[in-house]
Amino acid sequence: MGAWCLTALLLVLLAPVPAGADPGRQLCLTCHPAHYARLGGCTVCHRGNPASERKNIAHQRLIAGRYARFTLKDDRQLRQGIRLLEQYACRRCHVTAGRGNRLAASLDRAAARKTPEQLALSIQRPVAAMPDFGLDDERTTQIVNALLAGAQGRTADDDTPVAVHFNIAAHTGRDIFSQQCGACHRLLSQRSGALGRGNIGPNLSGLLSVYYPRTFRGSEAWTSRKLGVWLKNPRAVRPWALMRPVTLTDNELVELVSILQVAADLQ
């Protein structure tokens, strides 16, 4: 297969270029056979620069085959990717396909500006304020396809900039979350940026928004009232809960909720 490809490639490369070749022609075809021709030109799905026969120029901003699957209608990899975005609740921090909290960078904007390889790297080697989901290459590729699909047809500048994230070390750590929850949980908050440093409990970013998984009593969304019930006695809500009760005054609970809250206009 490889040898055949190479021979074919050499034959194409050695063929004389006709003088005055049609400038509108996709020069990708000098090196590659056509496929999916009925669905559009090469650059519709792969980006790239069709005006050059030089590979390095032709491949500018190229989308490799594995990241181009989102261009096929009803692709299994794409469906998996969309499912994973839900499963890991990426929208509790990011906007993708126009929906989500704006606690971190818009992934519609990132997908328009970064290469798929850069997106994959950001997911597999996340910054400190993003959970490490331990995703393998296959699932990361599926997610990147879902991000590219979500960004399709959206302009990169149609969203407001996100808050700058304080780095954890620089933060005073005097807020109620850092003091009472931060040893076990992390939180990307709208008000104070990245808080907490523990990974024993789940990352609580966007807990009180519609994008957080519905994990209260198995299938209910969290509210400030339900959070109060949980903190008083987690085992009254979830029989095998590992978290111990945390006693807060009414004022402290109000303060905590205000840190957890994501403004509705940021959703």
Regarding 95 and contact with ligand HEC (CB under 6 A), the answer is no
In angstroms, what is the minimal distance from the CB of 250 to ligand HEC? 14
Residues in 71-90 that interact with ligand HEC by CB under 6 A: 71-72, 88, 90
Residues in 24-43 that interact with ligand HEC by CB under 6 A: 26-32, 34-36, 39-40, 42-43
**Close Cβ partners of 58 (under 8 Å, ≥ 6 residues apart):** 27, 28, 31, 48, 49, 50, 52
| HSE-CB of 120 using CA atoms within 13 angstroms | 17
Regarding 154 and contact with ligand HEC (CB under 6 A), the answer is no
- C-alpha span between 12 and 34 (Å, rounded): 13
Q: Look at the block and give the residue holding tokens 């005055």.
A: 20
**Close Cβ partners of 193 (under 8 Å, ≥ 6 residues apart):** 129, 163, 164, 165, 166, 167, 171
* CB contact at 8 A, 82 and 91: no
Task: Provide the mask over 111-150, with x wherever binding to ligand HEC is found by CB under 6 A and - wherever it is not.
Answer: ---x----x--xx---x-xxx-x---------x-------
Regarding 215 and contact with ligand HEC (CB under 6 A), the answer is yes
Task: Provide the mask over 165-204, with x wherever binding to ligand HEC is found by CB under 6 A and - wherever it is not.
Answer: x--------------xx-xxx--x-----------xxxxx
| The one among 64, 236, 254, 263 contacting ligand HEC by CB under 6 A | 64
Phi-psi region of 123 (alpha: psi -120 to 50; beta: other; left: phi over 0): alpha
In angstroms, what is the minimal distance from the CB of 156 to ligand HEC? 11
Regarding 107 and contact with ligand HEC (CB under 6 A), the answer is yes
Regarding 45 and contact with ligand HEC (CB under 6 A), the answer is yes
**Close Cβ partners of 83 (under 8 Å, ≥ 6 residues apart):** none
| The one among 55, 83, 99, 225 contacting ligand HEC by CB under 6 A | 55
